[in-house]
Structure 1
Amino acid sequence: MAPRDGYTIGQLARLSGLPVKTIRFYSDVGVLPERDRTAAGYRLYGEEDLARLELIRTLREVGVDLATIRDLGERDLRQVLSLQLRTVETQLTALQRTRAVLRATLERGEPSETDLRRLNSLGRLGAAEREALMDAFVSEVGGGNRARERWLTGLREAMVPDLPPEPTIEQLDAWLELAELLSDEDYRAVLRRDDSGFWDRRDRSEDTDFDGWRKVNEEIAGTALAAVDQGVEPGSAAAEPILDRVVALLAEMHGVAADGPGFRRTLTRAYEEHDPRAVRHWELVAKIRNTPWPPPQTIAHTWIAQALSAHPTPRSTG
C-alpha cells in the first residue's frame, strides 16, 4: 500500500527494481505522469503508478514503443498486445525466411553475385510490400472499371501468394520474378486491353454475379477435364458435343445470343493471342505454392483451344 502522500521516485525504484533515471525518463516523456509533488518539489506517484510501471516494463520488453504506451490511456490493452503479437510474428517470419535463404545459399557453395542480389531482395517479400504491389496492379489493370477491379480484388491472394516461412531458393526466385512481372507496365497494359469489351459492358454494375461466373467457369473446366480424363482427343468427332457444351457456357458468360462460327473465331483468336506472360504468371504462382504444374484449369483450356481449332463451327451449322 502506498504511503499517504504517495511514492517518491526513489521508493518506486526500490519497489520496482528499475533505476531512478529510467523512471524519471518515463515521467518526463509522459508514459508515467506524476500525480503530485512534495513541498520540496519531489515527484509523487500512487499505487496504480507502480502497477503501470510494471506494465510499461513488460510492454517495452515485447517491443511496444513509448509513443504507443503514452497514448494507451484508456484504450483496450488487448488490442495493443494483439497488434504487437502480429508484429513479432511478422518479424519471426522474416527472420525464418532470411535463415532459410542464407542456409540454402551456403549449401550451394561459394556465393555468387546472384545470391547476393537475392539476399538483398528479401525486404520486398513482406505482407505490406505484397499489398502495395497488388493495390497498384488492381488499380492499373482495372483501369477505372469497377467490375473488373472487383473481380481482380477477389483474386488478390491467388495472384500473389505469400511465401512459406522457410522458402526454397526456387520459391524465392519465383516470387521475385512474379513481383517484376506484375510491375511490368506493358504486361499490365495487355491485361487491361484483354476482354475490354466484356468488362466495359459491366462497368459500374453493382449487381454483377461474380459467384455465378465462378460456377460457370468451374463447369467449363470440369467439362473439358472430364474429356481429358476419358481420353477424348480435341480433334476427334467425340469432342464435338463436349465442345458445343463448353461454347454454350462461354456464350452465356459473354452475353452472346448463341454459339456460331463468328463467336468461335473470337474465342479461337483470344486463345491464340493470349499473352504467354499470363501463363508464366500462374506457373510462378504454382512454384511459390509448391503445387503441380500445369494446374487443372490450364489443362482444361489447352484442350478447349485445341478443340476450337479443330471444330470452328458447331455441329448444327457445320
Structure 2
Amino acid sequence: MSYTIGRLAKLTGLPVKTIRFYSDAGVLPERERTPAGYRIYGDEDRARLELIRTLREIGVDLATIRSLGDRRLRNVLDLHLKTVETQLRSLQRTRAVLRATLARDGDPAEEDLRRLHALGRVGVAEMELLLDDFVDEVGGGVEALHEWLACRRDALLPELPEEPTVEQLDAWLELAELLADADYRARLHRQSREFWEEGREVAAWNEVNAQVTREAMTASRAGVEPGSPESEPILERILALMGLSREELLRSFDEHDPRAARQWELVAIIQGTPWPPEPTIAYDWIEATLRNLPST
C-alpha cells in the first residue's frame, strides 16, 4: 500500500515535519515520488518509522540509525546497550561522590571538587586505554615481558562497583595516575627487562611462581619464622625453583619499586578484596628470610 506523507503522519502519529526531516537526513530512505514531486511511502516505510521512533526514544543517534541498512538491528541495540551501561556507571560514580560530599557539613572542600573533576575524565574506557599504553610501554621490546603483562591485563584492570565508596573512587583515580606515571613505567621496564630477556617462558614462569607461593605460604602458616634455622631449607628449595642465587633474589627485592605493590593494593581496594593476598604474603616471607639468614 502507498501513502502520502500526510497519510503516513496520521498513521504513525509523527508530524509531517519530522517525517520530512528523517527523509532528508537519510534515516528513512526515499523510494519514489509522484510526477508532481510528492514523496510516496509504503508499509515498509511505516514499519521503519516505528523503529526509528523507538530507537530515538531510547537515545540512539541518527548516524547509528542511518547505518542500519548495513548492520543488523541486534548489533545496533547491543552497541547502544553498552553505551547506556557506560553512561549509567559514570552517573553512579558521580552520585557516590555527590552523596559523600553533601553528607558533610559546610561547603565542599577542594578535595571534593578535585575528585568530581577527575572522575569526569577517567571512566572505564579511559582506564582501558591507559592500561593498554602501560602494557605496551613497560613490555616494549621484550616479547616475553609483554606477553606476561598482557596475560595479567584483566587482573590489572578492576571493575569499579556500581555503588563505589569514596575510598574506592579515590583508589580508582590514584590507579589512573600511577598507570600514567612515565617514571613508574620506565622503572618497571628496566627492572623487568633483564629477568625476561633470559629466555623465560610465560607459562613455565607462572607455574614456578605458583609453586614458590605454595612453599612460602605453607611455611608462613606453619609459623616458621623468617631467618630461623627451619626457614633455610625452605628458602633453598624456593631458590632452586626460581633458578636464582640468594644474591640475585635479594638484589631483585632491593630494586623492586614499592609502587608496584601499591598498584595491586589499589586494585584490591577497588574490588573490595582482602589485602594482602597470598602471593604478597609469600614474597614478604621470602624477603624477610633472605634478610635475616646469615650470609653464606
CA RMSD of aligned residues (A): 1.6
Are 1:133 and 2:125 an aligned pair?
Answer: no
Are 1:10 and 2:14 an aligned pair?
Answer: no
| Runs of 4 or more above 4 Å deviation | none
Mapping of residues 280-291 of structure 1, within 5 Å: 280-291=262-273
TM-score for the superposition, normalised by structure 1: 0.88
Letter in 2 for 1:249: L
1:94, 1:165 within 8 Å by CA — same for their partners in 2? no
* CA shift in 2, pair 1:124/1:162, >3 Å: farther
Q: CA-to-partner distance for each residue in 1:190-223, whole Å, 9 max, x for gaps?
A: 1011132222233xxxxx6423322221111111
Choose the corresponding residue for 2:230, options 225, 231, 238: 238
Deviation, 1:297, is 1.2
Match of 1:151 in 2: 148
Q: Secondary structure at the match of 2:229?
A: coil
Are 1:199 and 2:202 an aligned pair?
Answer: no
Deviation, 1:307, is 1.3
Deviation, 1:309, is 2.2
Q: CA-to-partner distance for each residue in 1:265-303, whole Å, 9 max, x for gaps?
A: 111121122112122222222211122222211111111
Deviation, 1:101, is 1.4
Paired with 1:312 and 1:43, the residues of 2 have a C-alpha distance of 93
1:264, 1:312 within 8 Å by CA — same for their partners in 2? no
Letter in 1 for 2:197: D
Choose the corresponding residue for 1:40, options 36, 43, 46: 36
Paired with 2:5 and 2:75, the residues of 1 have a C-alpha distance of 30
Match of 1:248 in 2: 240
Match of 1:295 in 2: 277
Deviation, 1:57, is 0.6
TM-score for the superposition, normalised by structure 2: 0.95
Paired with 2:170 and 2:92, the residues of 1 have a C-alpha distance of 16
Aligned identity (percent) is: 62
Paired with 1:89 and 1:143, the residues of 2 have a C-alpha distance of 33
Choose the corresponding residue for 1:69, options 65, 68, 73: 65
Q: CA-to-partner distance for each residue in 1:24-66, whole Å, 9 max, x for gaps?
A: 0001111112221122221101111100110111111121111
1:37, 1:44 within 8 Å by CA — same for their partners in 2? yes
Paired with 2:259 and 2:24, the residues of 1 have a C-alpha distance of 58
Paired with 2:255 and 2:156, the residues of 1 have a C-alpha distance of 21
Deviation, 1:184, is 1.2
Letter in 2 for 1:19: P
Letter in 1 for 2:51: L
Are 1:269 and 2:251 an aligned pair?
Answer: yes
Paired with 1:160 and 1:81, the residues of 2 have a C-alpha distance of 26
